[in-house]
């Protein structure tokens, strides 16, 4: 079982840093994690992942970015679960991304994620620039999280820029919704422990348990010709959507049932299991 850095297990981290600001963690606290990662053949894991799930591996020149690399290796996945469960005991969705063969002056570009990232330098050095989101940016990011849209570089802000130089063995905590841009200052290899955010929007999906009792949810959808404006009032959509909304307002709608199904879906899922 790997030990997360002691700093991350303190009340100070939970109360003042978690999801509020970044944190640079020294290599003395990450020695065990670094050793565990180096004991694995991360290049062959990425090759296995590319065969198993090609969409998870992207290449920009020499740089290889492998998302959810632990899908291809049980030991790597256990490292992710060990790490995540020590920070958030009830966490269900945690994984490891790898950035292999990142040449000097390269990186993944400026972006934000809808997850908390703990990136560790396995080899080489990276210079990171981070910016916290504005209120407007957070509202936009929340929509991305709720609708499960991919995160995009849309949170350019005027806020303070935090800069960190992360050397071999050091770790950087990047809170969700923070813009971040890491550029290698030497040939680099890094891994990120990714704790995916969960939200109450998951509970909302269980409204479907009630709507599913109705017949008209399964009616054929109107055909919308590509590139043509369509008068929505001429089709059955307003009536059907109105019926579905009315059903949610009716006295037969039982929030308790929805919540019990939602709760069951959480307790049934294994820790670390991908969604
Ligand atoms: Fe990222």
pLDDT per residue as tens digits for the range 23-59: 999 999 999 999 999 999 999 999 999 999 999 999 9
Q: What is the pLDDT of residue 206?
A: 80
Report CA(121)–ligand 1 centroid distance (Å).
14
Report CA(216)–ligand 1 centroid distance (Å).
42
Q: What is the mean pLDDT of residues 122-144?
A: 86
Q: Which region among 39-43, 49-53, 181-185, 213-217 has the lowest average model confidence (pLDDT)?
A: 213-217
Q: What is the mean pLDDT of residues 216-223?
A: 75
Q: What is the pLDDT of residue 224?
A: 66
Is pLDDT larger for residue 127 or for residue 258? 127
Report CA(203)–ligand 1 centroid distance (Å).
26
Confidence of residue 184 (pLDDT cuts 50, 70, 90): very high
Report CA(119)–ligand 1 centroid distance (Å).
9
Q: Which region among 20-29, 37-46, 223-232, 259-268 has the lowest average model confidence (pLDDT)?
A: 223-232
Report CA(152)–ligand 1 centroid distance (Å).
10
Report CA(194)–ligand 1 centroid distance (Å).
9
pLDDT at 234 exceeding the cut of 70: no
Report CA(163)–ligand 1 centroid distance (Å).
15
Report CA(243)–ligand 1 centroid distance (Å).
41
Confidence of residue 275 (pLDDT cuts 50, 70, 90): very low
Report CA(180)–ligand 1 centroid distance (Å).
7
Q: What is the pLDDT of residue 231?
A: 63
Q: What is the pLDDT of residue 210?
A: 75
Report CA(204)–ligand 1 centroid distance (Å).
27
Confidence of residue 191 (pLDDT cuts 50, 70, 90): very high
Q: Where are the domains of the chain?
A: 6-198, 202-268
Q: What is the pLDDT of residue 237?
A: 75
Report CA(114)–ligand 1 centroid distance (Å).
9
Report CA(75)–ligand 1 centroid distance (Å).
23
Q: Which region among 79-88, 203-212, 231-240 has the lowest average model confidence (pLDDT)?
A: 231-240
Q: Does domain 6-198 have CATH number 2.60.120.650?
A: yes
Report CA(63)–ligand 1 centroid distance (Å).
15
Report CA(14)–ligand 1 centroid distance (Å).
21
Q: What is the mean pLDDT of residues 84-103?
A: 88
Report CA(218)–ligand 1 centroid distance (Å).
39
Report CA(29)–ligand 1 centroid distance (Å).
22
**Three-state secondary structure string covering the chain:** CCCCCHHHHCHHHHHHHCCCCCEEECHHHCHHHHHHHHCCCHHHHHHHHHHHCHHHEEEECCEEEECCHHHHCHHHHHHHHHHHHHHCCCCCCEEEEEEEEECCCCCCCCECCCEEEEEEEEECCEEEEEECCCHHHHHHHHHHHHHCCCCCCCCCCCCCEEEEEECCCCEEEECCCCEEEEEECCCEEEEEEEEECCCCHHHHHHHHHHHCCCCHHHCCCCCCCCCCCCCHHHCCHHHHHHHHHHHHHCCCCCHHHHHHHHHHHHHHCCCCCCC
Q: What is the pLDDT of residue 124?
A: 96
User: Could you tell me what percent of the chain has a pLDDT over 70?
Assistant: 88
């Amino acid at each position: 079982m790997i030990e997360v850095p002691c700093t991350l297990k303190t009340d100070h981290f939970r109360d003042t840093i978690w999801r509020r600001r970044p944190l640079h963690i020294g290599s003395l606290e990450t020695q065990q994690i670094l050793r565990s990662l180096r004991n694995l053949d991360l290049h062959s894991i990425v090759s296995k992942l590319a065969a198993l799930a090609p969409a998870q591996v992207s290449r920009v020149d020499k740089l290889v970015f492998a998302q959810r690399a632990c899908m291809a290796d049980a030991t790597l996945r256990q490292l992710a679960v060990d790490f995540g469960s020590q920070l958030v005991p009830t966490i269900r969705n945690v994984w490891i991304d790898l950035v292999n063969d990142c040449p000097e002056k390269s990186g993944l570009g400026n972006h934000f994620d809808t997850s908390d990232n703990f990136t560790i330098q396995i080899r080489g050095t990276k210079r990171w620039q981070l910016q916290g989101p504005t209120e407007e940016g957070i509202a936009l990011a929340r929509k991305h999280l709720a609708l499960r849209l991919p995160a995009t570089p849309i949170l350019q802000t005027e806020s303070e820029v935090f800069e960190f130089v992360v050397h071999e063995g050091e770790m950087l905590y990047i809170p969700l919704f923070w813009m971040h841009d890491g550029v290698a200052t030497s040939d680099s290899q890094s891994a990120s422990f990714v704790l995916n955010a969960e939200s109450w929007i998951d509970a909302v999906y269980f409204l479907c348990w009630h709507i599913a009792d109705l017949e008209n949810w399964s009616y054929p959808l109107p055909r919308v010709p590509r590139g043509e404006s369509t008068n929505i009032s001429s089709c059955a959509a307003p009536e059907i959507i109105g019926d579905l909304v009315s059903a949610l307002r009716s006295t037969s709608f039982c929030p308790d049932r929805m919540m019990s199904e939602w709760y069951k879906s959480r307790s049934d899922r294994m820790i670390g299991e991908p969604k």
